[in-house]
Amino acid sequence: MSPAQPRPWYRAKAPAEVVRDALAMASRKRREGCDPCVDAYLNLARKNGSTDEQIAAALRTDEPARPQLCECCRACDEGDP
């Protein structure tokens, strides 16, 4: 018998679900004006098979806010991860 594999702390998602959720968060973060988060979510979507057309559609639906960092990125930028 092989030892039981530890369960991850997160729920695994199918790549299509990851793409959908990552693009939704990229769109949200774009509206909020946090470019580092937008880039991170777009990279996640690409790694899970997102097409350029899907990315363009997600970004086309929203007008960007004035640039600002979200709270988590602001903390990292200030050296307090």
Reported as a single tens digit per residue, the pLDDT across 28-77 is 998 888 899 999 999 999 999 999 999 999 888 656 566 666 777 777 66
The beta strands (E) that lie in the chain are given as none
Look up residue 9 and give its amino acid: W
Q: What's the pTM?
A: 0.69
Please give the Cα distance from 73 to 68 (Å, whole number).
Answer: 9
Q: What does the block give as tokens for 29?
A: 């973060």
CA distance 2 to 73: 42
pLDDT reported for residue 1: 46
